[in-house]
Amino acid sequence: MKEVGIIGAGGLTGKELLKLLNQHRYFVPIHITSNQYAGKKVKEVFPDLQLNKIADLKFSYHDESIPEKIPLFLATPNKESMDLVNLFYKKENRVVIDLSGSYRINNLEIFIKFYGFEHKYPEILKEKVYGLTEVYRELIRNSMFISNPGCYPTSVLIPLFYFKEFIKNAENIIIDSKSGVSGAGGRVEDAGFSFQNVYENFRAYKILKHQHEPEIAQYLIEFSDYKGNIVFTPHLLPIFRGILSTIVITWKKDFELNDDELYQKIQKATEKEPFVRLFKNPEEIELKNVQFTNYCDFAFRSRDNITVIVSAIDNLVKGAAGQALQNLNLILDYDEIEGLK
């Protein structure tokens, strides 16, 4: 058995990590922290986690000493994660999977503009590998520090990766994403996330201002050499789990995709992928097919110089804890799907 730890295990992502680790046959969480719940057992904090491996585990304070060398998941806020990566990865030389956004953006000016504080460790920034498993699998396998992707970017970059050879012909990529409340980052005390304000309601937020837009742009450009527009608009769905992204690509004049050929090709490219599923019709993509799973589902349809892609993930699994575990499996040389199927 391999011992692992979770810093910030008391939130939604931490809880999801606990659930997944319980199913893992080789990893065992031995150190989990939460200042809010320190001293309590998992089963007291999360009465629905009836899971034999973790139920009696106790939360520690963040600053309690952690057994040497055990790999850590950081499910902490951006600013905290920035410092903890320095501590755990740089100083203590551990394997670290950071689920925050603090090491995803390379450009320091863009970082400060979207995250609101200056990055203290630009040199560490360069050492991270972006944990989008399907795209950077080999880099991940050989890294000790993973910056795990945002939930929205995961839902967008995975399908676009399979279009990468064509992306240079695109002029605009217009992304309209819709997330359940667990992906939209609100705290239960925020009036904006009260039942009264979410139920039987719908709205867009952070229009042209969401920190996941530069994240999408950076990695899309990295793997596809894209030069056109990217527009990303997130919305809040009155549900708990799941992100569905509708991605419209407008191609340069005279460029047209052959949907059938491309379908064959992407099917081939994804058939060995354990967590990517290509569907025939974009109408088949729906959140209920991916909730509680580590899948990214997608499908597409074209007309003239337009292609519409629809993709879906569970924001807490493939968009956070699941992908993080997938990455740790790779790094520690376990089967990539362990704990995830």
Residue 107 or 197: the one with the smaller Cβ distance to its own copies is 197
Instruction: Report residue 95: phi and psi, to 5°.
Output: -75, 125
Taking the CA of residue 82 as centre, how many other CA atoms within 13 Å lie in the half-sphere pointing to its CB?
17
Q: Which residues contact 86 (CB under 8 A, 6 or more apart)?
A: 120, 121, 124
Spatial distance between the Cα atoms of 155 and 311, rounded to a whole number of angstroms: 6
Q: Which residues contact 172 (CB under 8 A, 6 or more apart)?
A: 228, 229, 231, 248, 249, 250
Site map for its own copies, 172-201, x if CB under 8 A? x-x-x-x-xxx-----xxxx-xxxxxxxxx
Q: Which of residues 24-53 bind its own copies (CB under 8 A)?
A: 47-48, 50-52
Catalytic pick among 151, 167, 236, 310: 151
65 binds its own copies per the rule CB under 8 A: no
Spatial distance between the Cα atoms of 226 and 246, rounded to a whole number of angstroms: 19
- Total residues contacting its own copies by CB under 8 A comes to 76
Strand pairing report for 296-303 and 306-313: antiparallel
Residue 30 or 174: the one with the smaller Cβ distance to its own copies is 174
Minimum Å gap between C-beta 323 and its own copies is 14
C-beta separation of 138 from 88 below 8 A: no
Phi-psi region for residue 219, left (φ > 0), alpha (ψ -120 to 50) or beta? alpha
Name the residue among 296, 295, 325 with its Cα closest to residue 14: 325
Give me 73's structure tokens: 């998941």
Catalytic residue status for 296? no
Spatial distance between the Cα atoms of 94 and 150, rounded to a whole number of angstroms: 22
Q: Which of residues 241-270 bind its own copies (CB under 8 A)?
A: 241-242, 244, 246, 248, 250
Residue 23 or 86: the one with the smaller Cβ distance to its own copies is 23
282 binds its own copies per the rule CB under 8 A: yes
Q: Which of residues 79-138 bind its own copies (CB under 8 A)?
A: none
Q: What is the CA radius of gyration of the chain?
A: 20
Stretch that binds its own copies, among 26-34, 64-72, 128-136, 297-305 (CB under 8 A): 297-305
Minimum Å gap between C-beta 113 and its own copies is 12
Strand pairing report for 243-251 and 170-179: antiparallel
Q: Which of residues 135-174 bind its own copies (CB under 8 A)?
A: 171-172, 174
Catalytic site residues?
Answer: 151
